Each structure stands twice: as structure tokens, then as C-alpha cells.
């Protein structure tokens, strides 16, 4: 695998690296390869905040332990920034600013010359203002630098025997809110509880979008009919209402990554 070899070489040449590790498949691949070539000179750090589901933090810890890489958790406080909490279209810029403003001094203090993340080549074609914030703070994106796409991340992860190679993308919970709707810890918790409920029913790739008092469930188009047929809908509605929503709807178009960006007249991240 030519691109895997290129990734190994790039990370080995760094000598030491601190990985911004979310537990998603992209940053997990970077963490795995970094550990393979750098050993204890690689450190994975996960940012814990209200926008991260507790289940996802546990998964990140389990995956890091399986890889063998040293792993630490640090708290971030993006919700304290009104530029983030007000949920503008460039919300992710302020999220990644908080993340890398936390990681960069930590890396410097411990002698790590590089902070690296899991941005892949496909991410550069979407609206991702957080990428610019990371670049401004000197972070590097090995996957994107080599040109490794999301599909290739999964292929390489499977080749390396990572059992989570098919793990669905799971961006932070703040991505469930339409731009302009203020984000609070309570709203994040409400959405997180709803998604956890659906996961416990066995559905893996999903989103619960929040729009005021309405929860909108998004599932892949192919599973919408089975979902309706197999789910106790009155029980689901009652559960979501217990979590704090008034109305529960199902998006008939189905899940599509970046759906909330569709109304933005924005160009891809450069």
C-alpha cells in the first residue's frame, strides 16, 4: 500500500507527534500508524466537552487501549465562547481554535514538535472552517497531505486489522443544530440522549437534528422503511419527549453528510 507507506514515512520523519484524537476512524488511523512508527514518542489526546457524547469518549479510550498508544483526556471549553455558542456558520472555526489553543502549548511544554489531526483529503472539498483554525496554529494533517480519502482511510484501516474500520462518522453534537440556533449544554445532552436511544435499538448510521422543539431523525435512505416497520414509534416518541423534545419527525430524504451546509453559499476549505 503506497499511501500507507507514505503515511508511515511522514510520521516517522516527525520524530515525535501529539495526535488530536477524537476516536473517529480518521484520527484513529493516524494514531495507529503514529504508534507503529514512533512508539512512546506518539501521544493521543482527546478533548472532552459537552459536545462529545459520553459513549464516544468511552469508545475513544477503548480504541486507544487496543492500539497501545498513550492516551490522555483534556477538557475544552468552547461553549464558554459566545462566538461558538451562538452557532454561526463558522462555528467549527471557534471549536478548533479552542482545541488547538489547548493542545499547542501542551505539545510545546512536553517537547512535541508537531500536533497532527485526522483531516483527510475529502474534508478539503467540504465547508470545514475548523481546518483553517488548525492551520493557523501550526497543526498538520498527514492524511490530507498524502491525499488519503475517506474511502482509503477505511481500506487502510481494514488492511491493518482495525476492527472499527467501518465505524460511521460521528462529528460533534453541535453539528446537529441549524446555524443560528444557540447551543447549550442542555440541548446537547438532549440530542445525545436521543441518538443513544436509537443506537441501543441497533441503528448505527444516524443523526438526530434539533430545530427548536423538534427532533428530526435522519437515517440512510435504504433503512427508512425497515426503521418504520421495526420500531415501536409511540415508544420512541414518548422517549424523545421525555428527553425534552415536543415533536419528533423522520427526514424522508434520509441522512446525508453535511446536510446543514446545503443552504450556505460557501466554497470548500482551501
pLDDT, average across residues 196-206: 95
Task: Name residues whose C-beta falls within 8 Å of residue 155's C-beta, 6 or more positions apart in sequence.
Answer: none
Q: What is the mean pLDDT of the chain?
A: 94
- What pLDDT band is residue 126 in, cutting at 50, 70 and 90? confident
- Of 177, 178, 185, 200, whose CA–CA distance to 48 is shortest? 185
Q: What is the pLDDT of residue 261?
A: 62
pLDDT, average across residues 238-250: 98
Q: What is the pLDDT of residue 93?
A: 96
Q: What is the pLDDT of residue 264?
A: 59
Task: Name residues whose C-beta falls within 8 Å of residue 96's C-beta, 6 or more positions apart in sequence.
Answer: 129, 130, 131, 133, 134
Architecture of domain 2-159 in CATH? 3-Layer(aba) Sandwich (3.40)
What DSSP designation does 48 have? E
- What pLDDT band is residue 258 in, cutting at 50, 70 and 90? low
Q: What is the pLDDT of residue 267?
A: 41
Task: Name residues whose C-beta falls within 8 Å of residue 222's C-beta, 6 or more positions apart in sequence.
Answer: none
Q: What is the pTM of this model?
A: 0.90
- The x, y and z cell numbers of residue 62, run together, are 477503548
CATH code for residues 173-261: 3.30.300
Domain ranges of the chain: 2-159, 173-261
Q: CA–CA separation, 71 vs 205, rounded Å?
A: 26
Q: CA–CA separation, 262 vs 209, rounded Å?
A: 14
Task: Name residues whose C-beta falls within 8 Å of residue 229's C-beta, 6 or more positions apart in sequence.
Answer: none
Which bin fits 136, alpha (ψ -120 to 50), beta or left (φ > 0)?
Answer: alpha
Stronger pLDDT, 265 or 216, i.e. the higher one: 216
pLDDT, average across residues 72-92: 96
Q: CA–CA separation, 63 vs 213, rounded Å?
A: 35
- What pLDDT band is residue 169 in, cutting at 50, 70 and 90? confident
Strand partners, 250: 217
Is 104 within 8 Å of 138 (Cβ atoms)? yes
Q: Is the pLDDT of residue 10 over 60?
A: yes
Q: Is the pLDDT of residue 270 over 50?
A: no
Specify the pairing of strand 115-116 against strand 17-20.
parallel
Percent of the chain scoring above 70 in pLDDT:
95
Query: Hey, do 2-159 and 173-261 end up sharing a CATH topology, with the first three levels equal?
Result: no
Amino acid at each position: 500500500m503506497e499511501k500507507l507507506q507514505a503515511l508511515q514515512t511522514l510520521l516517522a520523519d516527525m520524530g515525535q507527534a501529539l495526535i488530536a484524537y477524537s476516536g473517529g476512524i480518521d484520527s484513529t488511523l493516524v494514531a495507529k500508524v503514529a504508534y507503529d512508527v514512533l512508539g512512546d514518542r506518539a501521544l493521543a489526546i482527546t478533548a472532552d466537552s459537552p459536545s462529545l457524547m459520553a459513549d464516544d469518549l468511552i469508545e475513544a479510550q477503548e480504541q486507544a487501549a487496543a492500539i497501545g498508544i498513550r492516551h490522555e483526556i483534556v477538557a475544552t471549553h468552547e461553549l464558554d465562547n459566545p462566538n461558538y455558542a451562538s452557532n454561526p456558520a463558522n462555528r467549527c472555526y471557534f471549536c478548533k481554535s479552542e482545541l488547538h489553543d489547548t493542545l499547542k502549548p501542551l505539545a510545546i511544554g512536553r517537547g512535541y514538535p508537531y500536533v497532527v489531526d485526522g483531516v483527510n483529503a475529502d474534508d478539503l472539498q467540504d465547508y470545514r472552517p475548523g481546518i483553517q483554525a488548525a492551520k493557523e496554529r501550526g497543526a498538520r494533517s498527514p492524511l490530507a497531505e498524502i491525499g488519503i480519502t475517506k474511502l482509503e482511510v477505511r481500506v487502510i484501516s481494514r488492511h491493518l486489522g482495525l476492527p472499527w474500520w467501518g465505524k460511521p462518522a460521528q462529528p460533534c453534537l453541535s453539528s446537529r443544530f441549524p446555524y443560528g440556533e444557540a447551543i447549550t449544554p442542555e440541548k446537547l445532552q438532549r440530542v445525545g440522549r436521543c441518538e443513544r436511544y436509537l443506537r441501543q435499538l441497533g441503528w448505527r448510521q444516524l443523526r438526530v437534528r434539533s430545530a427548536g422543539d423538534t427532533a428530526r431523525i435522519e437515517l440512510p435512505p435504504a433503512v427508512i422503511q425497515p426503521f418504520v416497520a421495526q420500531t415501536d414509534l409511540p415508544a420512541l416518541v414518548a422517549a424523545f419527549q421525555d428527553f425534552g423534545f415536543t415533536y419528533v419527525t423522520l427526514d424522508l430524504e434520509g441522512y446525508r453528510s453535511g446536510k446543514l451546509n446545503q443552504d450556505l453559499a460557501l466554497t470548500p476549505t482551501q
